[in-house]
Every structure is written in structure tokens, then in C-alpha cells.
Chain A
């Protein structure tokens, strides 16, 4: 008879074949059943080192990537899930990370498949690994810090089981993969659905694209996961909320404004699906708390209660528990999903430093109803796009180019204030903003550099971050991110007539012709615009690449030349790189 503890531990990867001919993964090519997935994973595992090893896995939302991930887990390896390096800076970081951790293999997407590559260090023996270590995740994925969160099989399985329980997931549930796998939130969606015998629909389309919802409907999806930015993008059009088959929507990755929580919750109630506001940290693999959908409307500013199996509490500055409601203190979590500690080098991979409880760094209070509400942060952290970014680290980075700069931010963007005399010229500020955004993995418009006569200070001499935040210019998401769901045929027709009547169209034609012939410098807006123009796809997502957009030999010459013109220089594998990564290459050499 199977050991029930063991079967729970291994629930989401070791015994997935027990789900047999149920669908596990669905993509544009069809359905992969659980039995098939297990078989493919075991086949892939034969390409991996025989002895238990550390493996770096560069993720993509593809069957091949998930197969490779499961192969690593089933074969007993420890995996570091990471994004794909695009720029030379990223590659240098990866090399440094490999140097620090000595992985024995690096798995990276090659076309639509996964390639097994040797690490640059050529490591053969690899580091010593703690027997429980399974997954390593970056705490932020943003500043290239080699600090990684160590997660055990118990951490991952316990959290998957908790999520499965409170979301009441079962074999009929089918989630859209709207998040990247190397984000802990994206990873947890995968784990919890595999644990429940449910399925995932794989796509890189953004939630704002009509194609995303078309696939949602076609594939029979029942849920999707979003970070706050997702709901901002969806705010202008509620058609998605009426999608047949939608059973639940989850939100995590940062604080969603209470008004928005109410609005989405109301949409859910009106259309028969449930909206789960959740809270977590990578250090908890990652889910910590959830707000029951029926409470979302009345308590939209709360993170809810601890996930099943875990405990939340408030701790005062002296480290004593706070039992009284409505009193602020640090939010503390304990449960079987709390990490094995951090790693900063290969030597740390052999140890288990599981803390007694997890200090979240967030200031919170318990309400009279027993729910928890975040009221501030003890550490200076922000979460744009669900990416956790430490403002102190960003500040440190900014100071390498702009001495004395201070950094403030919210989940909507980051502002770096620098004294005018610290920069030699104003244009340098814009360039520095782009450089900084690239370094921390954000779109350029999310990081602004404000050049001020002097750095604002409080009366006590400390930096005045509020004053810095006030320097932020308003930014708005690019139109192509919002457009796809809203355009009627009549609008298109009217816009077409407007275009033909517009002198700007003919002036632009002349300009474009001049640009093609090299007589004037073409004005490319961004990589996304180039891809849209050259491949004919109106709204490619940041994760799309030339290959994923079905680019071919007829369109690649124009695309590559336009990119070369825009970026200055193209890496050899540009055709397989996502748009966001290509965008990050912009202007890199010019600033060095």
C-alpha cells in the first residue's frame, strides 16, 4: 500500500502518470496527456547527468520546457528555474551565476524544443546538494543577485496541496499559463494543477490579446492567474469576464487596489466565477494567504487568512506576538512550505537552514474578523508586474552611475532622483533610466530619472522618498497592450477612411520610403512595433519571438535589418529571443 505521506510529497511530479489519459498540457499543437507527459519527461531525463546534479533551466511556456522541468524533478535533480538571458549583460550574469553555483547542465529553449547545454564553467562534479533540495528561485529575478531561495520537495508539495485545497482544484480545472514559469506564482499554478490532475493551456499571448481569449474558449480553460498589472490592462473592457467556462480568477504578485478588488469581485459574482486575492513570497514556495471570494467585496484591502497547513501571526518590534486586533506589526508565517533558507554560493546548497518562521518584511494587522491586512513594508520592496524589487538594491545600482542618487517607487514604477551636479548632461539622465530599467528587467517607461537641484531630505536628514515619488511623470501602458479587445468593424472602417484622407499618411509614406533607402533614419518605436509591422501580427506579446510569430525567410531579412537599425547590434540567436529581451538590448553599447 502506498505511503500516504510519500504520495502527497510526490503529488505534483513523481506519480503524475496515475492521471493516465487525462489532459495535462494543451497548446497550439494539441493535448499532452499525463501518461504521455510522464513518458516524455522520463525520456528527456536520459539526456541529463546520471548522478543527482544541479541544473539551470531557462524557462518558456512550452510543453518542452515543462517536460524538461518534470524530467529534472523525477530524476531527482535540483533545478534553478530562470529566465532566458538576452543581452550581453544577462549572459555575463548567467556566467557569474554558473561560476558561483557550478551547475552540471544548462537547459535552454532551442526553437520549440529544449537543448541540454554544458555550462560555461564546464563543471563536471558539481556542488554538493542537500538531499531535500529540489528547486532554486531568484528572490527578485531583477538585479542579478546570486542570492537564491532554496525549496525542498516538501515545501513545494505542501504548498501545491494547500493551493489545491483552498481553490478546490480538481481534474476538471484548466488554467491558462499567463505567467512565466520561473516566477514563483507561475510555478505554483503549474504545481497545483498537476497535483489536482487538472490541466494547463500554454500560451505566451498577453491577456489583452484577443488570441488569448480565443484560445481560452477553444481550449476550454476555466481559470487564469494575474498580477495587479494584468487587471489594470483588463480594466477597460469587461468582455473577458463573460467568457463561458471561466470558473475562477486568481490574483497575487502585489497589492491590487481595493477598488479594483471590488470591481473584479463584482464581475465574478455577476458572471458566476470566483475571484481569489492571494498573498505570498517566493520564500514560502510561494503561497502564504488567501482571501475567500465571498469576503473580497467587503474586505478588499485584506490578504485574508493563512493557507491550509500554515499559520499567520503579527510580531512587534521586540519580537513578541501581537494578539490584539488592529495593531501593526511584522507579518510572520510558519508552515511546511517555508524555504530551506537562502543560498549565495554553491557551498550553501548542501545545508538546510529552514527558519522557524518566515519574517515576511511586511507590516500588517489582524482585523476584528480575523483577516490580515498589509499596511506597509518594513523593507523597501515594490512589485511592478509582480516582480519583487528591492529599492535599496536598485538605489545601489543607480549610484554606480549617478553618485548620491536615491530611489523611491511603487508597484506602478520607480523614480530615481539625482542631483543635477551629479550628471554631466540632461540627456544622460534618460539614458541612465533606460540602462537601469534594463538592468532590473523592467520596461524603460517604468523607471524614471528625475534630475533635481538637490536631493530632497526630511527634517531629520533622511531621504524624502515621498518627495521623490512626486517627481514621477504620468505613464500609461502602450496602446498596443490595450487595443485588441475594443475595436469594432465600424471603427476600423472609419479609421481606414480617416487614414486615406490624412496628409500625414502620405507624408509618412515618403518618410518610410526615405528610411528604406537609407536617406533618412527610420524611426522605430520599439521591438514590438517592428515585429508587428514585419510579421503582420497586430499585438505580439513581450514573450513572442520571431520564431513564435511564425516568421519565415520572406520576412526575416526586413525584420533583422530593422532590429539591427533599432538596437545597434543583433545577437546571433535574435530570432528565438522574446521581444522583451530584445528590447532590453536597446542602447546597451552606447552607454558603456
Chain B
């Protein structure tokens, strides 16, 4: 098959995987375009990632039989998330010679939108705080039985409560940035992911009408939460991602696009951790134009630079790890044979 035909041939991907790739590109584009004069806020990528985190959380952790298993799953997930983030936070402190207990303890999003870390630390903070809440809830008597018998109503109840918290606690004067980074502001995105999993899978699986109702509610919640001002894109992207999760379990993409999305989706976490560093390198190297205002070409160039750099880090780390596992096993086998001989 000629190369271009092969590249355009369709390839099917799981929608949640494809969404990760798209979401992380949005995140990097948003952070590459932060200037006062930008025509549009490209926010929404991290909200989609929160949604997907909740979706996976319900899929891999909440399905476990006992609360002890759920707690172990939560602890393992939290540890795997926390350790690399802490490494970036501490490395950032060392580079900048600054210190923040709030960031070390992953609670700074409760009181400030500023951060020393060379990453948007509020995102792992929100997830870790959500995990802490779920961990505490796991001690509620009857929680396991309730979750086993009525997962969807419970998840919907959680969604209602988390959104109610947003309505009750919003409206302070700490600024829009701050307001979008607190657990009460975006925690409902995570819970929405859990609802999306339960409504599409397992015994609580629902039909088209229930899914449409959830989508409609999400559209309204998105408008209420994000408004139709500068952050209107968030209000659009979140329901759009949810719609794909609810109605399109698999997507057919051109092979070349699928390959790129596949690499990006695998590298999502590393890209999240490393892209800010590459954006800073981009700026420090003077690669951005002299103009202080918004420049589309500069933004795209910076985003491509950050994505490429972060993905390269992930590819190298993954390739080294896989090569180590493969060749180390052979070396070990040789050592064992020597030992036996």
C-alpha cells in the first residue's frame, strides 16, 4: 500500500485513550498561549483529564470487592501520582531556591493560585485530595454494600454534592485562576467521570435516555460552573468529551493521527509533568518573538517544542525501562545458569 494511503487508512482507538491525547495537547497549547492579549482561553484540557481520571478510578479501583482493596487501590494510585509530582516540585525548589510547604504537602490550591513548581501543581493536588476524600468515605459503614448494589445512584449523589459545594463556596474574591483550581471548583469533573463509567458499564449500565439526560445536565452544570465568559471553552469541551465517552466507545482515526494520539496519550502524565519546563526553556532560549502580545505562530511553535521535548523524555524513559527489563532478564537467566552449573 502506498505510504500516504497507509497513513490515511482508518484505525480504531478506545475513545478514552484518544481523549487523553487530545486533552494533553489542549493543556500544552493553553499554557503556551498565556498572555493578557490572547483572543481565547484554551482551558478545558485538564478538566477533561479530571473527567478521565474519575472514569478510570471507577473502572479500576471502585470495582474492587472490599473496602480494604479499594483503599489499597487508592493508596497505590495516589503514591504513583504523588511521587513523580513531588520529584518535580522538589527539583523546582532546588532550581529556584524557594520553598513552599503548601506545595510539598499538595494543599497550596486551598489558598493560592501561585506556584513555585515548574508544573501546574493544582491538578495533582485536586486528584490527591479527591483520593483522600474517597479514602475517608471508604470507612463509612455499609459503603461497600451500597457501592456494589447502587453504584450509579451513589455516584450521582456524589456529583450533586460536589456541585453543590461549588455553588456554596464559589464567589470569593481570590480571582478566576484560583477559583478554577480548587477541589470544590473542579472536583465534580472527577465525580462526573465515575458517573460516566457506571452509566456505560456493568450492572448499572443505562440506555440512551439516561445518557442523554446526564449529558444535558453536564452542559448546564458546565455553563453554571465556567460561565460563558473567557472560559466558555471549558463549558463546551467538558460535555463534548463526556458525549464521546457516553456514546462513542471507540473512534476511527486516520492511522497517522491515531499513531500520534496514541503516543501522546501514553505520554500524558510525563507531558503534564515536563511541559512547563520545556516552555520555560523555550522562553529562556529567546525562541519566542519579541512581541509581548499574543502571537499564534509563537504559541504553536512553543507548544510543539514543549510537546516534542516532553514526549521525547517519555519515549526515552520508556524505551530504557523496556530494554532494561528485556535484556536484564536474559542477563539474569545467564547468571542463574552459571549459578546452577
Contact = CB atoms under 8 A, between A and B. Distances in A.
Interface in A160-205: none
B331 A553 contact: no
B259 A518 contact: yes
B332 A483 contact: yes
Interface string A535-574: 0000000000011001111101110110000000010100
A557 B319 contact: no
Given A560-B17, A575-B60, A553 B332 contact: no
Contact of B329 (A479, A488, A513, A517): A479
Which of A236, A505, A546 has the most chain B CB within a 10 Å cutoff? A505
B52 A553 contact: yes
B339 A499 contact: no
Given A547-B60, A561-B262, A575-B59, A509 B323 contact: yes
Contacts of B316: 513
Interface stretch (A108-116, A290-298, A375-383): A108-116
Contact of B269 (A496, A547, A554): A554
Given A63-B65, A499-B331, A505-B327, A557 B17 contact: yes
A491 B335 contact: yes
B336 A557 contact: no
Contact of B268 (A479, A508, A516, A557): A557
B100 interface: no
Nearest to A32: B66
Contacts of A368: none
B323 A505 contact: yes
A111 B64 contact: yes
Nearest to A491: B335
Contacts of A552: 56, 60-61, 73, 76-77, 80
Nearest to A516: B315
B96 interface: no
Contacts of A511: 323
Given A115-B202, A499-B328, A513-B316, A554 B266 contact: no
Interface in B44-75: 52-53, 56-57, 59-61, 63-66, 68-69, 72-73
Contacts of B263: 516-518
B324 interface: yes
B15 to A, nearest CB: 12
Interface string A484-502: 0011100110111011001
B35 interface: no
B339 A488 contact: yes
Nearest to B328: A499
Contact of A512 (B14, B76, B323): B323
A559 to B, nearest CB: 10
Contacts of A496: 328, 331
A576 to B, nearest CB: 8
A318 interface: no
A570 B53 CA distance: 21
B174 interface: no
B333 interface: yes
A532 interface: yes
A497 to B, nearest CB: 8
B202 A110 contact: yes
A575 B201 CA distance: 13
B69 A29 contact: yes
B297 interface: no
A479 B331 CA distance: 12
Interface of B is mostly: helix
Given A532-B325, A556-B56, A513 B331 contact: no
A58 interface: no
Nearest to A513: B319
Interface size class of A (residues with CB under 8 A): 35 or more
A486 B323 contact: no
B322 interface: yes
A153 to B, nearest CB: 28
Contacts of A572: 249
A113 B259 CA distance: 36
Contacts of A547: 60, 63-64
A4 interface: no
Contacts of A550: 72-73, 76
Contacts of B266: 516, 557-558, 561
Given A491-B336, A554-B80, A111 B65 contact: yes
Interface string A236-259: 100000000000000000000000
A145 interface: no
Given A486-B336, A508-B327, A547-B63, A115 B203 contact: yes
B318 interface: yes
Nearest to A555: B80
Nearest to B314: A516
Nearest to A479: B333
A516 B319 CA distance: 8
A576 B318 CA distance: 25
Contacts of A319: none
B203 A29 contact: no
Interface of A: 28-30, 62-64, 110-113, 115, 117, 236, 479-480, 483, 486-488, 491-492, 494-496, 498-499, 502, 504-506, 508-513, 516-518, 532-533, 546-547, 550-554, 556-558, 560-561, 570, 572, 575
15 contacts: A29-B65, A236-B340, A483-B332, A491-B335, A491-B339, A508-B323, A508-B326, A508-B327, A546-B60, A550-B73, A550-B76, A551-B60, A552-B76, A556-B56, A558-B266
Given A491-B336, A508-B323, 8 more contacts: A112-B64, A113-B63, A480-B329, A483-B333, A499-B327, A550-B76, A557-B266, A572-B249
Interface of B: 14, 17, 20, 52-53, 56-57, 59-61, 63-66, 68-69, 72-73, 76-77, 80-81, 148, 202-203, 249, 259, 262-263, 265-266, 268-269, 315-316, 318-336, 339-340
